[in-house]
Amino acid sequence: MPTQDRTRRLPSQSISQDIISLHGLQTITTYNTSRADASVANLQQAYQTMLAQKQAETEKLTLYRAATDAARLAEWEFHNAVLAMKEVVRGQYGLDSDQAQAVGLKKKSERKRPNWKKSVAIAI
């Protein structure tokens, strides 16, 4: 049997087939095995553990998504507050002030003027 790659998730179709097989096994009244990992009790325990872990995963995923949304909204609120602060500094101290430069704005006098080049006509 090839080595199992346990780092990837099993396809949901495989899990569904396994559950159907377990339910089918429950109809066999004469099933008896000496293998502990294939016993009915072990299969039931593994099934219940899987259901509990999947439920925990779903709950944590929901909490993760909610936390992600809250963090994203907080980032936008902070960004908009900083933009408002920059507008206030620009309005209160002027476009060419040291205070405007201190909050990350470029002074008006330090802006590079556009360099317009005259087009040269090519004579043939």
> CA-CA distance, 6 to 75, in Å (whole number)?
37
d(CA 120, CA 124) in angstroms, rounded, equals 13
pLDDT tens per residue across all 124 residues of the chain: 678 888 999 999 999 999 999 999 999 999 999 999 999 999 999 999 999 999 999 999 999 999 999 999 999 999 999 999 999 999 999 988 999 999 999 888 887 777 777 776 666 6
The pLDDT value recorded for residue 1 is 67
Q: Which two tokens stand for residue 105?
A: 């704005």
For the question of whether the overall pTM of this predicted structure is more than 0.75, the answer is no
Q: Is 8 left (phi over 0), alpha (psi -120 to 50) or beta?
A: beta
The total number of residues shown for the chain amounts to 124
Report the distance separating Cα 109 and Cα 86, nearest Å.
Answer: 18
Task: State residue 106's pLDDT score.
Answer: 86
- Cα distance between residue 13 and residue 19, in whole Å: 10
Distance, CA of 108 to chain centre: 40
Please tell me the predicted confidence (pLDDT) of residue 121.
65
Q: How far apart, in Å, are the Cα atoms of 30 and each of 23, 26, 35, 55, 66?
A: 15, 10, 15, 32, 49
pLDDT at res. 11: 93
pLDDT, position 80: 96
DSSP E strands, 29-109: none
